[in-house]
Amino acid sequence: MKKTLCILLVISILLLAGCSKAEPETADALLSDYLSRVESFEGVIHQYGEEESRVLFGEKLVATVLFPETGIEELDIAIKKYIDDTIASAQVDSASKELQESAELLIAYNSYFNRNDVVSVELKGTYSDSTLAHPIDMTETFSADIESGKLLKIDDLLKKGKREEAEKKLIDEFGIDREFNPGDLLRCWVLAEDSLKIILTRGEFLPMSDGTKTYTFTQKETKELLQDSKADESVAANQNKEETTVPVEAEKVNIDINKPMLALTFDDGPSAHTQRLLDIFKKYGGKGTFFVLGNTLDNRKETLKRIAFEGHEIGNHSWSHRQFTNIDIDEVKDQIMMTRAKIYDITGVDCTIVRPPYGACNDEIRALGKEIGVTFVNWSVDTLDWKTKNADAVYKEIIKDAGDGHIILCHDLHKTTVDAMEKVIPALIGEGYQLVTVSELLTCRGGEIEVGRMYYKQVEG
């Protein structure tokens, strides 16, 4: 039997290997423009808790909800209740309307750990559907004392008589002239960077046109307003781990194009579970493709570098999981390019494969892909892992539908999916499949990867 090694593969390995920060010429003018903007695009702070998610893909409503699991029971119960209630009311709302396109609910979060005693969580969301002139903004905040595990209200932290002083600051700053109940103005608050931050949700105290506003007290003002932290003195400052260097050489893989191959792909990460998935690949062999979200990357730099370093492929899954077919084309460009710039900034890899959130794409978006030099990749096997959240179900789904040239959709956001991979990866290898990256699959099975095209699988040889 004739055995041919896929030479093109070497090129993709070289691409991974060669894109260190020392070679700025690999970032074209387009990329460098976005690199300069990425810092200010959307800062996400995850200082506490493990990321959890709820994903809905209904006919009337699509929803992506990210929230932290903090391990502080009262806090986790309150967060989950808010999430459940919000999803339920979005379902009721969207079901009652005649919608051309499904409504969209997106919730993301920031989590903070401050003064060694307070954990704060800020949930920020939007709900949009075609009947609304503007998306509805949502903000909710929760804080807890780490020692007692009790939820905190702002009055638990404010020194006596300081509430009016804090409220006056906001009234003066924003020119608030609406009536409000005592305490309402300070209802949404977090402690961030040892500063008290107040969030006024769009339309709550100010005209809708003003949008959602935040006011951050300086650290000095915060110290004057709040009681001292009991834990502050007793705990040493957090030590920052030194960052490892940018990968310089990815692992080499040989692929036999005469043998069956398929691509396992993982969306919505990197997450707290991704490192374990990389361990599983390391143990059994094979490579995967990770379609990452730009707004998670600051918190998962080491994981992202490891993905590249160990010869897996990084794909682009947008900045904040917006459905591309629901937003302006300029916004789609931002979603793709900001993420591309961020990936390049962290790993030195210029990643040009894009999986649009929910797989939603159209001619206009494909034309944009051609213009900016990216290729779209959906899937041929949907594991529905986000729905079943059951390792056994994911395993069965993959084994049932696996075939040469297939692209399999999974989400490394879920623990259960990574659990499933403990069985899936050795089983597929045992059946004779080579687990390759998407670019390896497309090159080995189809030849040159076409920019602007949408791929689902690649079986022609």
Cβ-based nearer residue to Zn ion, 140 or 268:
268
Residues paired with 411 in a beta bridge: 267
Which of helix, strand or coil describes residue 165? Answer: helix
Using CB under 5 A as the binding rule, the residues of this chain from 318 to 377 that contact Zn ion are 357
Asked whether position 397 contacts Zn ion by CB under 5 A, the answer is no
Cβ-based nearer residue to Zn ion, 122 or 267:
267
Among 51, 117, 129, 267, binds Zn ion (CB under 5 A): 267
Question: At 144, which helix (H) or strand (E)?
Answer: strand 136-145
Cβ-based nearer residue to Zn ion, 76 or 267:
267
* Among the listed residues 35, 132, 99, 40, the one whose alpha carbon sits nearest the alpha carbon of residue 346: 35
- Least distance in Å: CB of 342 to Zn ion? 17
Cβ-based nearer residue to Zn ion, 202 or 340:
340
Cβ-based nearer residue to Zn ion, 48 or 109:
109
* Among the listed residues 405, 325, 407, the one whose alpha carbon sits nearest the alpha carbon of residue 366: 325
- Least distance in Å: CB of 409 to Zn ion? 9
Stretch that binds Zn ion, among 155-163, 164-172, 260-268, 396-404 (CB under 5 A): 260-268
Rounded Cα gap, residues 77 and 443, in angstroms: 48
- Least distance in Å: CB of 46 to Zn ion? 18
Cα–Cα distance list, 450 to 12, 341, 373, 439 (Å): 15, 21, 9, 11
Among 129, 145, 268, 385, binds Zn ion (CB under 5 A): 268
Pairing of strands 381-382, 407-411: parallel
Strands (E), 202-333: 213-216, 261-269, 288-292, 313-316
- Least distance in Å: CB of 321 to Zn ion? 6
Rounded Cα gap, residues 17 and 320, in angstroms: 28
Cα–Cα distance list, 217 to 167, 173, 190, 248 (Å): 11, 11, 11, 43
- Least distance in Å: CB of 320 to Zn ion? 11
Tokens for 410?
């999974």
DSSP letter for 190, please.
E
What is the set of active-site residues?
267, 411
Q: Which residues bind Zn ion (CB under 5 A)?
A: 267-268, 357
